[in-house]
Amino acid sequence: MNVKKYLTLEEAQKLVPEVRRRVLQIIKLNKAIELISEIEITYDNEIESAFSEIKFNKKFHSLCYSMFSHMEALMKQGAFLDSTDIGRVNFYSIHNNRPIVLCWRLGDKHIKYWHYIDEDFSERKPISQLR
């Protein structure tokens, strides 16, 4: 199953507002998952303990399901969340008949950088070089 979608710069740029909304949700959900995973409650009563664990697991899996649903929706649109820490998103595109990655980061209004697919993020170039 190939879900990689190639977009033009203009198509990717049009997705940025929706991508921003989803990335913010993913980051929020990821933090909630991390937080809930750190909670430890012990009970003297076996029934209360089992009931609490069921409630915890329902909430944990609900948060995970929601987060992964947002990630899946991004991928179906042609965006790949590269980093939840800084909200970095990649869009696949083509330049001079070669696959490239258009780079957007949470906090940016526009896609500012790109690099060839076989290059690292550190080798990114200003988007002005595509025009």
SS3 76: helix
1 has pLDDT over 80 = no
Q: Which two tokens stand for residue 103?
A: 């780079």
74 pLDDT tier (thresholds 50, 70, 90): very high
40 has pLDDT over 90 = no
pLDDT of residue 17: 97
What's phi and psi for 123, nearest 5 deg?
-100, 15
pLDDT of residue 130: 84
Mean pLDDT, rounded, of the chain: 93
67 has pLDDT over 80 = yes
For residue range 105-127, what is the model confidence (pLDDT) as tens digits?
999 999 999 999 999 888 899 99
**Mean pLDDT, residues 60-82 taken together:** 96
